[in-house]
Amino acid sequence: MNFLRQSLSVAAKDLRSEFRTKESINAAVSFAVVILLLFSFAMDPTSEMIAEMSGGLLWLVYSFAGALILNRSFARELPNDCLDALVASPLSGAALFLGKSLANYLLLFLLELLCLPVFAVFYNVTISRRLGWMMAVFALATWGLTVIGTVFSALTVNLRLRELMLPMLVYPMLIPALMAAMQLTTILIAGQPITGDDEIWLRLLIGFDIIFTSLALALIETVLIT
Amino acid sequence: MREKILYLFGITAGFWLARNLYVILLGLPDEADQGAIYRILFFHLPGWFTSFLMFIGAGVASAFYLAKRDLKYDAFAVAATEVGLAYTCIGMATGMIWARIIWGIWWTWDPRLTWALITMLIYAGYLMLRKAIDEPSERAKNTAVMSIFSFAAVIITYKAIDWWRTQHPGPVLSFRSGGGRMDPRMESMIYVNWMPLLMLAIVFLLIRLRQEQTQREIESLRRYAHAR
Amino acid sequence: MTAVDVTGVWKFFGDFPALRDVNLTAEQGSCTALLGRNGAGKTTLLKILCGLSSPSRGKAVLLGKEGRSGETRRGIGIIGHGIAVYDELSARENLELFARLYGLDRPRARALEWLERTSLYHVREGLVREFSRGMRQRLAVARAFLHDPKLLLLDEPFTSLDDRAIALLQGLLREAIAGGATVIMSTHQLREALELATHVSLLVRGKVSYAGERTAEMLADPGWLYANYGEAA
């Protein structure tokens, strides 16, 4: 019970900090819009090909812009040595990790929800057909991004070149989750249900989430204690 | 004494490799469909086997480091990763050469080449992380965690890519033509050639281990000197 | 009751021993001044005691428990080099957060109580980034004492404190010690520390060169220890 209370306190603190300054979310949303704009020059936004690439494009945007949010996660603990106070408190590594992951998850989800209509308008794509399933896919895939991003944020918190290193380390690892998310999103945007062969992608997402969440919970304390 | 054994090992591997090359190039017949280029298989597959073995070793060594906190495990992890990465490059290069000859293109997004590239990027990230942390214990600890994550990622990615490519079929690097039966002489040659390549890998590994140990000694001596 | 029992602690950074076979005991109600030059290992030792670092060899038993147990950490208050409060939150929000993390019953009431005690009640809703330096320091002190810690670990607490904050801290420390709490503080400010200290430990290059009660001699001449047990000796 205490564990939950502590995690929620950490999550609330991160969200409160973020919404007061709005640093990450503004940067992330702006960046996402810029990428969507740039892509419109890279390819013909009116062509039918967009339908095939919709999921791919969307998740590229989410992962690039999301990195800005994930980077801040542990970095915000550095000024004033707050991280030391958190680690020295009765807060367990797992509770700290879950609290931060929860905050990141909500911020990433917010980013995704804000960008989806922008994407639909820019590329003339209907997104309303399988919205429920799409949200479920978003929920699973976003957790995968969150878990890896949060652990690596902790791992790289003290590095000089953190902003450069975090994306480099994280993107190759996210490939399975991004692959699955892209596939499923493309199918759902086209209005098709997820059936038969494609269910494998759902299972991949769930497996990815379970495996990396377990690894993260097991190793986070090791990362935080010198 | 240890150096002498290492030299002996290396020279044996070298001779064995030379003998194999002779057999491969002159002893074995050409393959039915692929002509002469199939011979690259004898370096391509063993290259893969070896690099995967190295990555498993690195993952295990990392786990041991986290449990025991003895820096020799950390040295093994980085040495194994570097050798594994080198052999992955061999695997990729031979694959690309084969694809160029057979298909006329340097790169094909087939499962194994793509997976090789992803694996390379993941472990290159590991080496980058090592460069970024100065303090040896912190470096060992954090990269060990990354190594464990990397190994899990590499395994998951392998399966995922397989599924992806079954949905997006394209040219696939398959060395078995026809029914998949290979001349037994060729089949055994793959394993016979694996031995010297593996031996060479072990030689490189041990040399790298020794280098890492020396580096640590120098660093701690430097620290002692500055503390005075 | 022994509040702190450190036995045979070594800490290696790579092959470099920052702490070598360190032994330290502190009885309940004592105040130990941890002295030593920069680089002697004071911060490293304190980090191990705080639970921020783990020893390479040996063990540290705090408040009867070994390792990073949650129960132990609930009873420990720390002051480090940074103030360890969040700039973007208000004074009250900061203290409430830590009150919850330390499992206190009425976080808001406690927070307000300590804001009162550190003369910050009138700015309780102000964001910390707008505070003056003295106010930030007092908030850091409030954070450390908020949960009535039985063990206080302070890393150079008097450095960069203004007079008001020093007086506040000394008062709180005296009160805590009188109430049975144990204090270990590393310091360069010999005078302020030696006034409060009942015991003294001197670290030289990672080894404990002297450990014992604070004597009148030390109080009269703070340099005495270094002269007799420091580097040159």
Query: Does the pLDDT of residue B180 top 60, yes or no?
Result: no
Choose among A75, A156, A77: nearest CA to C87: A77
A201 touches chain B (CB under 8 A): yes
Cβ of residue B215 closer than 8 Å to a chain C Cβ: no
Asked, for residue B18, whether it belongs to a domain, the answer is no
Judge contact between B180 and B159, C-beta under 8 A: no
Residue of A nearest to B164 (CA): A179
Predicted local confidence at residue B170, as pLDDT: 58
Residues 6+ apart with CB under 8 A from B116: B88, B91, B92, B95
Contact residues, chain C, for A92 at CB < 8 Å: 70
Query: Do C83 and A5 make contact, defined as CB atoms within 8 angstroms?
Result: no
Distance in angstroms between the alpha carbons of the first and the last residue of chain A? 28
d(CA A194, CA A179): 15
Closest-CA residue to A67 (of A106, A34, A27) = A27
C31: closest CA among C176, C210, C203?
C176
Q: Does C102 touch chain A (CB under 8 A)?
A: yes
Tell me the one-letter amino acid at A178: L
Q: What pLDDT score does C158 carry?
A: 86
Cβ contact, residue pair A82, C85, below 8 Å: yes
B121-161 per-position pLDDT tens digit: 999 999 999 999 988 999 999 999 999 999 999 999 988 88
B171: domain range?
37-227
Contact A89 C86 (CB under 8 A): no
Query: Does the structure's ipTM exceed the value 0.95?
Result: no
What is the pLDDT confidence band of residue B30, given thresholds at 50, 70 and 90? Answer: low
Give the contacts of A218 (CB within 8 A, at least 6 positions apart).
Answer: none
Q: For the CA atoms of chain C, what is the radius of gyration? A: 18
Mean pLDDT, residues A90-114 taken together: 96
Q: What is the pTM of this model?
A: 0.91
Average pLDDT, chain B: 84
pLDDT of residue B107: 84
Of B121, B137, B142, the CB nearest to A155: B142
Give the residue with greater pLDDT, C209 vs A11.
A11
Token digits of residue B198: 């593996």
- For C19, counting Cβ atoms within 10 Å of its Cβ (0-12 exposed, 13-18 middle, 19+ buried), the class is buried
CB contact under 8 A, A173 and B150: yes
Q: C-chain residues within 8 Å CB-CB of A20? A: 88-89
Cβ contact, residue pair C52, A87, below 8 Å: yes
Q: Is the pLDDT of residue A75 over 90?
A: yes
Measured in angstroms, the CA of C156 and the nearest CA of chain B are apart by: 22
Tokens of A124: 């003339």
Q: Please judge whether B69 and C56 are an interchain contact, meaning their C-beta atoms are less than 8 angstroms apart.
A: yes
Task: Kindly list the residues from chain B whose CB atom is less than 8 angstroms away from the CB atom of residue A215.
Answer: 148-149, 152
The string of pLDDT tens digits covering residues A83-93 is 999 999 999 99
Helix (H) or strand (E) holding C226: helix C224-229
Query: Which residue, A138, A167, A181, is CA-closest to A67?
Result: A167
The two structure tokens encoding residue A30: 């702006």
Subunit contact C101:A225, Cβ cutoff 8 A: no
Q: Is residue B12 part of a domain?
A: no
Q: What is the 3-state secondary structure (H, E, C) of chain A?
A: CHHHHHHHHHHHHHHHHHHHHCHHHHHHHHHHHHHHHHHHHHCCCCCCHHHHHHHHHHHHHHHHHHHHHHHHHHHCCCHHHHHHHHHHCCCCHHHHHHHHHHHHHHHHHHHHHHHHHHHHHHHCCCCCCCHHHHHHHHHHHHHHHHHHHHHHHHHCCCCCCHHHHHHHHHHHHHHHHHHHHHHHHHHHHCCCCCCHHHHHHHHHHHHHHHHHHHHHHHHHHHHHCC
Give the pLDDT band of residue B31 (cuts 50, 70, 90).
low
Torsion over CA of C151, C156, C162 and C168, rounded to 10 degrees?
A: 10
**Lowest model confidence (mean pLDDT) among B71-85, B137-151, B158-172:** B158-172
User: Contact C82/A84, CB-based, under 8 Å?
Assistant: yes
DSSP 8-class letter at C31: E
A contacts of B141 (beta carbons < 8 Å): 222-223, 226
pLDDT, averaged in runs of 10, over chain C (233 residues): 92 91 94 89 94 93 87 93 93 96 93 94 94 92 95 90 88 94 87 85 90 82 76 55
pLDDT the model gives residue A10: 96
Say which residues have a Cβ less than 8 Å from residue A158's Cβ, sequence separation at least 6: B138
Asked if pLDDT for residue A198 goes beyond 90, the answer is: no
Residue with tokens 């009751």: C1
Evaluate if residue B176 carries a pLDDT over 70: no
Neighbours of A152 (CB within 10 A): 29
- pLDDT of residue A43 exceeding 90: no
Name the band, by pLDDT with cuts 50, 70 and 90, for residue B168: low
pLDDT at B55 over 50: yes
From C201, C182, C185, select the one nearest C193 (Cα to Cα): C185
| Best of C73, C101, C135, C159 to mutate (most A CBs within 10 Å, chain A) | C101
Q: Side by side, which strands form the sheet with C207-213?
A: C76-79, C151-155, C182-186, C31-36, C199-204, C207-213
Contact A225 C54 (CB under 8 A): yes
Q: CB distance C52–A21 less than 8 Å?
A: no
Q: Cβ of C100 and A5 within 8 Å?
A: yes
Query: C 204-233 residues with CB below 8 A of A?
Result: none
Alpha helices in B69-135 (DSSP H): 71-103, 111-132
* Cβ atoms of residues B23 and B189 within 8 Å: yes
Query: Facing residues of C26 across strands?
Result: C4
Q: Does B8 map to a domain?
A: no
Q: What is the pLDDT of residue A60?
A: 94
- Mean pLDDT, range B107-113, rounded to an integer: 79
CA–CA gap between residue A178 and residue A192 (Å, rounded): 19
| Helical spans, DSSP H, in chain B | 2-22, 41-68, 71-103, 111-132, 136-167, 184-227
Domain boundaries, chain A: 2-224
Parallel/antiparallel/unpaired status of strands C57-62 and C65-66: antiparallel
Given CA atoms B74, B76, B77, B79 in this order, what sign does their dihedral have? positive
Environment class of residue A174 by beta-carbon count within 10 Å: exposed (0-12), middle (13-18) or buried (19+)?
Answer: buried
Least confident segment among A89-103, A182-196, B95-109 = B95-109
**Alpha-carbon gap, residue B206 to B215, rounded angstroms:** 14
A199 touches C: beta carbon within 8 Å: no
- Phi/psi for A190 (5° steps) reads -70, -5
DSSP state for residue C215 in the 8-state scheme: P
| DSSP for residue C121 | G
Question: Which residues on neighbouring strands pair with residue C199, listed in sequence order?
Answer: C32, C213
Given CB atoms, is B68 within the 8 Å cutoff of chain C? no
B227 touches chain C (CB under 8 A): yes
Q: In what order do the strands lie in the sheet with C65-66?
A: C16-27, C2-13, C57-62, C65-66
Query: Does the pLDDT at position B174 exceed 70?
Result: no
Q: What are phi and psi of C119, to 5 degrees?
A: 55, 40
Cβ of residue C89 closer than 8 Å to a chain A Cβ: yes
Range with the lowest mean pLDDT among A10-19, A57-66, A139-148, B95-104? Answer: B95-104
Query: What tokens does A130 get?
Result: 């399988």
Structural domain contains residue B118: yes
Q: How many domains does chain B have?
A: 1
For residues B36 and C200, which has the higher predicted lDDT (pLDDT)?
Answer: C200
User: Which amino acid is located at B210 in the chain?
Assistant: R
Average pLDDT, chain A: 92
> Hey, is C120 helix, strand or coil?
coil
